[in-house]
């Protein structure tokens, strides 16, 4: 008997579990900057913008940066590997935070917007952590791997807003200390990606069917519905979350209270990820997405009941939970709906469309919040009522997919 024959086989998913551990750490550390920036971005925009209706434009530029980055970053990772793409992301985050600091010091809204756009490069890279977790995972472990990586956001939910509290007024110019902390996080987190063990995708074989175009991919029902549900889950979460600090402060509460509400929201976004994958494995992605959409609707109902601090907390916690079920479920649907050699195209298309929807949501958020009646209460009502048509669209698409004859 040879030596090779005497060795036990490697544990199933051993490589995938190692990669998941690295990606969880990256989500926790590097992801903190997004929690920080989403807390202060609208407030800094309100300080710099020439018009209050443009207060959330910096958040929109971050998401627009992510949307326009995804179509080239995903093929880059297809050719050169995940590590290269994630290092590009940390460079974007570092540079974007530095340019935002420059904009704050100059009192320049356009420079601040440029830095926000560059921060979107990091946001795009972070969006691919969930797909990277699936790269080396077995079919059984894949939904759990995706949800575990998103669970890393639990630590960022605590770390990010707490860093805001200690840095927001640490410099003479408000918010500058927070962006300096974001630069430091990118430097610290960069080394994590050298621990990844994800092989580059094998080149397409001559016998493989050619990769389908965007139009052909979107004609596949599962892909189309998965993208619609991901778009709606993420866009509505962003629509409401972007307005939340403005609404909380506008209704007479402090910036610290706004940070605490966002902390509760981000905890709710990521804490369920410890079991979401298990729920998907047991009940199926479609049912979990449907539950997520229902919880998002419940968040809107609670928010419309009043502007007491309890309403903000409960609504934002439900918003986070609904996003978790809807987005992880839709990601799982998508991950099993295409061929391996189409990975770069499908994932790039998905994130471009998802973040395109989020751009529109974040742009609408500032307009609805600040320009829908003149008070924080009427603006907050308008934001939450805007959820209705999009939840109807996603729910209808999911029902259609469930009822259509299977091929």
- Flag residues of the chain having pLDDT under 50: 1-9
Distance CA 18, CA 129 (A): 13
| pLDDT at residue 298, rounded to an integer | 97
| pLDDT at residue 90, rounded to an integer | 96
| pLDDT at residue 8, rounded to an integer | 47
Phi-psi region of 406 (alpha: psi -120 to 50; beta: other; left: phi over 0): beta
Domain boundaries, the chain: 11-199+214-403
The torsion of the CA quartet 78, 82, 85, 87, rounded to 10 degrees, works out to -160
pLDDT tens across 199-228, in order? 876 666 655 666 677 777 778 888 889 999
DSSP E strands in 149-274: the ranges are none
**Rounded (5°) CA angle 245-300-49:** 30
| pLDDT at residue 256, rounded to an integer | 80
CATH code of domain 11-199+214-403: 1.20.1250.20
| pLDDT at residue 160, rounded to an integer | 86
Q: Is the pTM of the predicted complex or chain greater than 0.95?
A: no
Q: Which of 143, 229, 217 is nearest to 401 (CA)?
A: 229
């Amino acid at each position: 008997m040879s030596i090779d024959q005497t060795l036990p086989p490697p544990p199933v998913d051993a490589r995938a579990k190692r990669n998941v551990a690295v990606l969880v750490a990256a989500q926790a550390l590097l992801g903190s900057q997004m929690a920080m920036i989403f807390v202060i971005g609208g407030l800094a925009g309100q300080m710099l913008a020439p018009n209050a209706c443009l207060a959330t434009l910096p958040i929109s530029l971050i998401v627009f940066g992510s949307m326009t980055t995804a179509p080239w970053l995903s093929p880059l990772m297809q050719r050169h590997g995940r590590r290269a793409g994630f290092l590009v992301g940390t460079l974007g985050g570092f540079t974007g935070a530095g340019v935002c600091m420059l904009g704050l010091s100059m009192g320049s809204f356009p420079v601040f917007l440029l830095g926000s756009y560059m921060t979107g490069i990091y946001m795009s890279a972070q969006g691919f952590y969930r797909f990277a977790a699936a790269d080396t995972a077995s079919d059984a472990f894949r939904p759990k791997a995706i949800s575990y990586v998103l669970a890393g956001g639990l630590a960022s939910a605590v770390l990010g807003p707490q860093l805001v509290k200690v840095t927001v007024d640490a410099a003479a110019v408000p918010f500058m200390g927070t962006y300096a902390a974001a630069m430091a996080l990118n430097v610290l987190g960069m080394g994590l990606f050298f621990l990844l063990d994800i092989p580059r995708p094998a080149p397409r074989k001559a016998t493989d069917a050619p990769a389908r175009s965007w139009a052909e991919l979107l004609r596949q029902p599962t892909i189309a519905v998965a993208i619609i549900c991901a778009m709606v889950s993420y866009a509505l979460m962003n629509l409401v979350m972007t307005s939340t600090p403005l609404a909380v402060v506008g209704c007479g509460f402090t910036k610290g209270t706004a940070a605490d509400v966002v902390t509760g929201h981000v905890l709710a976004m990521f804490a369920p990820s410890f079991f979401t994958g298990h729920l998907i494995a047991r009940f199926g992605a479609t049912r979990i997405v449907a539950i997520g959409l229902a919880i998002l609707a419940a968040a809107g109902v609670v928010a419309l009941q009043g502007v007491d601090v309890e309403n903000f907390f409960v609504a934002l916690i439900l918003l986070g939970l609904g996003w978790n079920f809807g987005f992880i479920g839709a990601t799982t649907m998508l991950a099993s709906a295409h061929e391996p050699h189409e990975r770069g195209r499908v994932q790039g298309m998905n994130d471009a469309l998802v973040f395109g929807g989020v751009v529109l949501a974040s742009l609408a958020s500032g307009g609805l919040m600040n320009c829908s009646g003149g008070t924080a209460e009427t603006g907050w009502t308008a934001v939450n009522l805007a959820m209705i048509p999009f939840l109807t669209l996603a729910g209808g698409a999911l029902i259609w997919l469930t009822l259509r004859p299977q091929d």
